């Protein structure tokens, strides 16, 4: 019978607990220390350097010019899109700024076309949360008295406006208004008078101006939406009007920001 030899433990072998885990622990502590140093450095970043970095990154992504310093040439973030902490503002605000700029550019194109034909005094422009409103000043300038027939001045103005609006993809609302006085025959009420005038403007824009019919609508508001109070001749004239509204196509949250964008651009 054989006897299994006992395993002899060398006298110089360490018989205490295994401490190799300390090497991994020390490595982890070192990494954590480096992490906290980096976090501390980021929390005390120089604001000017941060803004310069932000502007440089914006340049690479093709944003608009800004007053912030930039180390590269090109377009950067505009100041109205940067909050007080130097961070990019709400994307809805950026969309509102772009929409306002697009509507402003259209307004200038229309003004320039009217000015070339000496017709700019007969039209007003308003930008708000609905879009761009082109106001035909005083119904008497554009229609015969108590009539829906377009005057020669109206035809000239509409032909000029139509030459620009024909390329606009937005929906257009032609809106007729009347003053608070009662209608006179042949119109039973101001509803028929206001809607009849807006329809004549729409027809001319579509039939003579070439605007796509599926992009244009006609609305009659009678005397329900006055823009001037009182019964003076001037107030009544302002309320007898036809508006051509280039409707904004952006979402409601963006449209609601357009008036504040306009105020910030207009200044105090």
Q: Which of 121, 127, 176, 173 is nearest to 148 (CA)?
A: 176
190: which 2 tokens?
A: 């101001």
For the chain, how many residues are written?
A: 268
Are 123 and 137 in contact by the 8 Å Cβ rule? The answer is yes
121: which 2 tokens?
A: 């005094």
Which of helix, strand or coil describes residue 103? helix
Looking at residue 83, what is its pLDDT? 59
Looking at residue 69, what is its pLDDT? 44
Looking at residue 156, what is its pLDDT? 95
Per-chain mean pLDDT for the chain: 81
Higher pLDDT, 141 or 112: 112
Which residues pair with residue 133 across a beta bridge?
126, 245
Q: What's the CATH number of domain 92-266, 3.40.718.10, 3.30.1330.60, 3.40.50.2300, 1.10.3720.10?
A: 3.30.1330.60
207 pLDDT band, cuts 50/70/90, is very high
CB atoms within 10 A of CB 120: 17
Higher pLDDT, 144 or 259: 259
Which residues pair with residue 82 across a beta bridge?
88
Looking at residue 76, what is its pLDDT? 45
Residue 15 has pLDDT above 80, yes or no: no
Domain extent listing, the chain: 21-89, 92-266
14-28, 84-98, 196-210, range with greatest mean pLDDT? 196-210
Looking at residue 56, what is its pLDDT? 58
Looking at residue 88, what is its pLDDT? 45
pLDDT tens digits for 212-264? 999 999 999 999 999 989 889 888 888 889 999 999 999 999 999 999 888 88
Burial status of residue 160 (CB atoms within 10 A of its CB: 0-12, 13-18, 19 or more): buried
Half-sphere exposure (Cβ direction) of 25: Cα atoms closer than 13 Å: 4
174 pLDDT band, cuts 50/70/90, is very high
CA distance 117 to 124: 15
CA distance 144 to 147: 5
Higher pLDDT, 9 or 118: 118
Q: What is the 3-state secondary structure (H, E, C) of 153-216?
A: HHHHHHHHHHHHHCCCCCCEEEEEECCCCCCCCCCCCHHHHHHHHHHHHHHHHHHCCCCCHHHE
Q: What is the 3-state secondary structure (H, E, C) of 199-210?
A: HHHHHHHHHCCC
């Amino acid at each position: 019978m054989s006897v299994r030899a006992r395993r002899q433990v060398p006298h110089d072998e360490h018989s205490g607990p295994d401490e190799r885990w300390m090497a991994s622990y020390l490595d982890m502590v070192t990494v954590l220390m480096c992490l906290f140093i980096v976090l501390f450095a980021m929390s005390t970043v120089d604001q000017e350097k941060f803004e310069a970095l932000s502007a440089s990154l914006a340049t690479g992504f093709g944003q608009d010019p800004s007053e912030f310093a930039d180390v590269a040439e090109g377009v950067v973030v505009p100041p109205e899109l940067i909050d007080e902490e130097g961070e990019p503002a709400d994307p809805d605000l950026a969309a509102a700024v772009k929409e306002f700029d697009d509507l402003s550019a259209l307004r200038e194109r229309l003004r320039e076309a009217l000015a070339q034909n000496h017709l700019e005094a007969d039209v007003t422009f308003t930008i708000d949360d609905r879009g761009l409103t082109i106001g035909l000043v005083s119904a008497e300038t554009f229609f015969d008295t108590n009539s829906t027939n377009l005057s020669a001045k109206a035809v000239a103005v509409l032909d000029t406006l139509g030459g620009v609006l024909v390329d606009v993809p937005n929906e257009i609302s032609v809106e007729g208004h009347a003053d608070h006085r009662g209608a006179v025959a042949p119109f039973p009420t101001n509803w028929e008078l206001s809607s009849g005038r807006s329809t004549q403007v729409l027809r001319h824009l579509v039939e003579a101006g070439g605007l796509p019919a599926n992009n244009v609508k006609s609305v009659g508001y009678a005397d329900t939406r006055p823009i001037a109070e009182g019964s003076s001749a001037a107030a009544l004239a302002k309320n007898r009007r036809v508006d051509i509204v280039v409707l904004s196509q952006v979402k409601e949250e963006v449209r609601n920001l357009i008036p504040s964008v306009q105020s910030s651009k207009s200044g105090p």
